[in-house]
Chains A and B, each alone.
Chain A
Amino acid sequence: MDVTSTVWFWPMTAVIQIEGLRKTFRGLRGGARVALDGFDMTVEAGQIHGFLGPNGSGKTTTLRTLLGLVRADSGHMSILGQPAPDALPEVAPRVGAIVESPQFFGNFTGRRTLRLLARAGGVPAERVEAVLAQVGLRDRGNERVKAYSLGMKQRLAVASALLKRPELLILDEPANGLDPAGIREMRDLMRELSSAGITVLVSSHILGEIQLICDHVTIISRGQRVTTGPVSAVLSGFDKGEYRVRVGDLARAAEVLTTAGLPVTKNDDHLVVADVGDAAWISEQLGQRGMWVSELTPLTPDLESVFLQLTGTTPEPGAPRQVDEVVKPGTIDLGEQP
Chain B
Amino acid sequence: MNLALAELSRLVARRFVQLMAVLLIAAFGVTMATTVAGSHQPTTAEWERAEREVQLTQARLEQFRQECEQRRVSRTFCDGYLEREPRVEDYLFGVFVFSHEITDLLYFMIAFLALFAFLVAASFVGAELTSGGMTNLLLWRPQRATVLGTKLATVLAAVLAVSVVASVLYTAAFYAIAQATGVPGAVDAEFWGDLAVTVLRGIGLVLYAAAIGFGAATLGRHTAAALGLVATYTIVWEIGARIVFEVVETARPEQYMLSSYIAAWMDGELSFPERYLNDEYTLTWVHAGAVFAITLALIVGAAFATFRQRDLA
6 contacts across the A-B interface (CB closer than 8 A): A88-B142, A89-B142, A103-B136, A105-B10, A117-B6, A119-B2
Q: A-facing mask of B207-234, CB < 8 A → 1, else 0?
A: 0000000000000000000000000000
Shortest beta-carbon distance from B144 to chain A in Å: 8
> Please, how many angstroms separate the alpha-carbon atoms of A92 and B140 in the complex?
6
Of A71, A97, A103, the most chain B CB neighbours within 10 A belong to A103
> Please, how many angstroms separate the alpha-carbon atoms of A25 and B312 in the complex?
12
Binds A, one of B20-28, B79-87, B127-135: B127-135
- The answer, among A89, A97, A120, for a CB contact under 8 Å with B137, is A120
| Interface flag for A122 (CB, 8 Å) | yes
| Interface flag for B141 (CB, 8 Å) | yes
| Interface flag for B72 (CB, 8 Å) | no
| Interface flag for A133 (CB, 8 Å) | no
Contact-residue bracket for chain A: 20 to 34
Task: Please tell me if the beta carbons of B140 and A103 are within 8 angstroms of each other in the complex.
Answer: no
Task: Please tell me if the beta carbons of A68 and B5 are within 8 angstroms of each other in the complex.
Answer: no
Count how many chain B residues have C-beta atoms less than 8 Å from C-beta atoms of the other chain.
25
Q: B-facing mask of A39-69, CB < 8 A → 1, else 0?
A: 0000000000000000000000000100111
Quick one: given A69-B138, A71-B311, are A107 and B13 in contact (CB under 8 Å)?
yes
Which residues 141-180 of B have a CB within 8 angstroms of A?
141-143
| Interface flag for B14 (CB, 8 Å) | yes
Of B9, B13, B136, B137, the most chain A CB neighbours within 10 A belong to B136
Quick one: given A69-B138, A116-B6, are A102 and B309 in contact (CB under 8 Å)?
no
Give chain A residues whose Cβ lies under 8 Å from the Cβ of B136: 102-104, 117, 160
Task: Please tell me if the beta carbons of A70 and B10 are within 8 angstroms of each other in the complex.
Answer: no
Which residues 279-313 of B have a CB within 8 angstroms of A?
309, 311-312
Shortest beta-carbon distance from A190 to chain B in Å: 19
> Please, how many angstroms separate the alpha-carbon atoms of A68 and B10 in the complex?
23
Give chain A residues whose Cβ lies under 8 Å from the Cβ of B73: none
> Please, how many angstroms separate the alpha-carbon atoms of A104 and B139 in the complex?
13
> Please, how many angstroms separate the alpha-carbon atoms of A160 and B135 in the complex?
13
Shortest beta-carbon distance from B307 to chain A in Å: 12
| Interface flag for B3 (CB, 8 Å) | yes
Q: B-facing mask of A107-126, CB < 8 A → 1, else 0?
A: 11000100011011110000
| Interface flag for A85 (CB, 8 Å) | yes
| Interface flag for B15 (CB, 8 Å) | yes
Task: Please tell me if the beta carbons of B2 and A120 are within 8 angstroms of each other in the complex.
Answer: yes
> Please, how many angstroms separate the alpha-carbon atoms of A292 and B138 in the complex?
65
> Please, how many angstroms separate the alpha-carbon atoms of A99 and B137 in the complex?
12
Q: B-facing mask of A14-49, CB < 8 A → 1, else 0?
A: 000000000001000000000000000000000000
> Which residue on chain B has the smallest CB distance to residue A157?
B136
Give chain A residues whose Cβ lies under 8 Å from the Cβ of B141: 89, 92, 120-121
In the A-B complex, the 5 residue pairs with the smallest Cβ-Cβ separation, listed nearest first, are: A103-B132, A88-B142, A120-B6, A103-B131, A70-B311
